[in-house]
Copies of this chain bind each other. A is one copy, B any other.
Amino acid sequence: MDSDRDQQHEGVFVFNLPQDHGVNFSTRRGFITKLKSGLKETFFPDDPFRQFKNEKRTSRKVAKGIQYFVPIFEWLPNYSAGLFWSDLIAGLTITSLAIPQGISYAKLANLPPVIGLYSSFVPPLVYAIFGSSRHVAVGTIAAASLLVGQTIQTVADPIQEPTLFLHLVFTTTFVTGLFQASLGLFRLGILVDFFSHSTITGFMGGTAVILILQQLKGIFGMKHFSTKTDVVSVIKGIIHNRHEIRWETTVLGVIFVAFLQFTVLVREKKPKLFWVSAIAPMTTVVVAGVFTYLVKGQNHGIQIVGHLQKGINPLSIRYFNFDAKYLPAVLRAGIITGILSLAEGIAIGRSFSVTENTPHDGNKEMIAFGFMNLCGSFTSCYLTSGPFSKTAVNYNAGCKTAMANVVQGVLMLLTLLFLAPLFGYTPLVALSSIIISAMFGLIKYGVFIHLFKVDKFDFLICMAAFLGVIFLTMDEGLMISIALSIVRALLYVARPATCKLGKLDDSSASYRDVDQYTAATTFPGVLIIQLGSPIYFANAIYVKERIMRYVRSEQGSGEVVEQMILDFSGVTSIDMTGIEGLIEIYRVLEKNGIRMLLVNPRLEVMEKLVASDFVDKVGKDSFYLNLDDAVNAAQYSLHLLKTNGNNSNQDTTTHQHGNGDHA
């Protein structure tokens, strides 16, 4: 039967171009070539070894290799006093933020406050060696702190068993570090890609809301508080324990928050005064501490941080606890916060590197974050990353290199050695105010509205994270949002957009979507469809139904379709089920007396169409290199049919002659 078709068409097209119409059927890459190219695109899209793989001399190659893997060797040799001056100022600024934030966030994770200070000493030094970004400032992050605390307290009570809890947190940090470093080494940055902007924005916003609610404990000076984080439980808890609310702390809290928000306002109005808001938390801590000391605040229900041990980080490596009883919670906390903190740290680092055109490498960042958390887990630190707020302060303070992190580390070392006990007098209400004030900035109403305007599905993904975190739990909110993102990606594959094309009267006689360019002219009897990509198992049936709907819709408006031109230019991928689907389409069209013409399948698609014998089945003469050739051929065979019949369509022939000039 196939040979019948060939003969029939040969008769019609014999005057035409050679049978392949200039289409390249022969280029076929070997399996190894395709595999290499596939792996490269999947794991090495940035061609990371370009810097040294072309070096001739081995010593140069090794040097460049070390520079590549340990970025400090890239910038340190050219380091100058001028740069150091900038980095010193930035380092001072971020340290003044690191001390109060370190103490506050450690409390969020139910950890002793000094752990928060430890975490701003070792990790910044490690990051300075391995980090590829110039602007990231290392520190603890609020959302991940809360998440670690929430997850680990399901297996160990931080009040009843504080030592066990602490050791499990160190183990979690170890897991996080190992996980992050492995992602980087195995170049699996692709996992982080699945945290979309919308997910992160929604999650951050939701976390900010529940963090603000949590801080009401400190503001109200309450002793009992909900152990759950969702808004309903927290409000119920506050109402239930309303007799514990102290007016003294509440007044202080309102004043502190007002002050901090005022400094934020100053920064927004006069960006040059960014340092006002940067040192405001430290100012709050000092003022509040002195005030509490003077008025003997403890007698008025103003709780303070309490004793802070002098001295540097003790080793914690021997405390790791891999007991099977706790391991699931530890792994869960480690991996979720690991991805989350990577997503935050990499996103902020990238955005400044784009602004400043400085280097940034997602996979190197993962390795750096991994090493920093591994070293941290050995030295009594918990999870650190590159927080949005601290990194922004670092950038605004004029940091030039990762040296700012070294400055932060050294200053924190000095604090730990000499000043730590003083910070023990910090009232909790001051810390709560600092967190609340930091959190206001993370609820991005503007972005929510922008998302709503531009893309409703993105808005849905964002709201799922936001509301999920507020009304359920943090990880449920995150999971729902990511699941929706994946559903969206799968839906995209399941329903690739197709459109009907018509010819424009522009300089190149291009073919464009007739819905978008209503001036585009169509050809009677010929239907031109641009297929979306990919043609896959998940959409093979859809593509068939959609094409048949185009045919019916033409018939509905009185047109008879006899030639169907499928534009494959945009189809970048096809699989076996997709090819079987195309065969089905071909058969169904044939049964309905419609001839199928294929235009410009791309290299990868053509390889598979040839290998699966699809090309032999439909015949090489059904393939065309460009739409014009296909339309001319379609019109010519329509013309022949019409002439053999009894009515010749004037319109068709006119068009055909018009196009004939091109050939």
Contact = CB atoms under 8 A, between A and B. Distances in A.
A455 B194 contact: no
Given A489-B536, A538-B489, A587-B354, A507 B629 contact: yes
Contact of A507 (B193, B536, B603, B662): B662
A251 interface: no
A2 to B, nearest CB: 16
A37 to B, nearest CB: 10
A546 B45 contact: yes
Contact of A495 (B42, B495, B512): B42
A196 B577 contact: yes
Interface residues of A, number: 103
A193 B539 contact: yes
A534 B493 CA distance: 9
Interface string A536-550: 111111100110110
A491 interface: yes
B495 A45 contact: yes
Contact of A458 (B552, B575, B625): B575
A588 interface: yes
Contacts of A491: 42
Contacts of A542: 41, 45, 190, 193
A67 interface: no
A354 B45 contact: no
B504 A625 contact: yes
A24 B570 contact: no
A50 interface: yes
A162 interface: no
B513 A602 contact: yes
Interface in A490-507: 490-497, 499, 504, 506-507
Interface string A10-50: 00000000000010100100010011000001100111001
B490 A490 contact: yes
A513 B603 CA distance: 8
B193 A516 contact: no
Contacts of A22: 506
B506 A626 contact: yes
A50 B496 CA distance: 22
A571 B629 CA distance: 24
A595 interface: no
B24 A494 contact: no
B537 A580 contact: no
Interface string A79-96: 000000000000000000
Given A47-B549, A499-B603, A506-B626, A455 B576 contact: yes
Interface string A592-635: 10000000101110101001100000000000011111000000
A135 to B, nearest CB: 15
A591 B493 CA distance: 34
Nearest to A629: B507
A357 interface: yes
B489 A198 contact: no
A309 interface: no
Contacts of A488: 536, 575
Interface string A569-585: 11111011101100010
Nearest to A590: B357
Residue of A458, A549, A577 most packed against chain B (CB within 10 A): A577
9 contacts: A195-B537, A350-B584, A451-B576, A453-B612, A457-B575, A488-B536, A532-B572, A533-B533, A569-B570
Given A27-B516, A194-B537, 12 more contacts: A35-B456, A45-B542, A193-B541, A193-B542, A457-B575, A458-B575, A458-B577, A490-B490, A492-B573, A508-B626, A508-B628, A513-B602
Interface of A: 22, 24, 27, 31, 34-35, 41-42, 45-47, 50, 189-190, 193-199, 350, 354-355, 357, 362, 450-451, 453-458, 485-486, 488-497, 499, 504, 506-510, 512-513, 515-517, 532-534, 536-542, 545-546, 548-549, 552, 569-573, 575-577, 579-580, 584, 587-588, 591-592, 600, 602-604, 606, 608, 611-612, 625-629, 662-663
